[in-house]
Amino acid sequence: MYSESERRRAVDAYFEWDVGLRATVERLGGRPGTNALAGWVRADPRFRPRRGRPRTPMAVRNAVAVAYRNGMGLRETAREYGVSKASVERRADEYGSPAVAGPTTEGAAMTTDSEDDGLPTTRPR
């Protein structure tokens, strides 16, 4: 068991040094363990969990939708604004811009059959 003062000292060191759990434990001489320190840090009010990638700013999202709606290609838009192609399609759907249909064969159109499961089929015009 660790005393309250040992816990407080370890957690304070973690936030002061800002180096991560393992490095903090090494600097403290290997005691407490990383799992114990992780629990104490999570319980501290100063702890803010690190999330994945930060959200794309709203200005960039709007610009992506406008660029794609104005005819810029899917891949080109994604590269220009540093977002994924899925993000471009999602923004286009959110802002009412239709997604660009993929290539179709000459003389064929994409339709949906009402009598089957509703999946697109290619049928000659």
What pLDDT does residue 91 have?
86
CA distance 38 to 7: 11
Q: What integer best gives the mean pLDDT of the chain?
A: 79
Is the predicted pLDDT of residue 7 greater than 90, yes or no?
A: yes
CA distance 76 to 63: 13
What tens digit of pLDDT does each residue of 59-75 get? 888 889 889 988 899 99
CA distance 105 to 112: 16
Is the predicted pLDDT of residue 114 greater than 80, yes or no?
A: no
Cut 0.85: pTM above it: no
CA distance 45 to 59: 32
Is the predicted pLDDT of residue 106 greater than 80, yes or no?
A: no
H helices of 71-116, where?
74-81, 85-94
Q: What is residue 92's DSSP assignment?
A: H
Is there a contact between 77 and 88 (Cβ–Cβ < 8 Å)? yes
Q: What are phi and psi of 46, to 5 degrees?
A: -75, -15
Residue type, 73: G
Dihedral of alpha carbons 38, 39, 42, 45, sign: negative
For residue 26, give Cα distances in angstroms to 3, 10, 35, 47: 19, 11, 13, 20
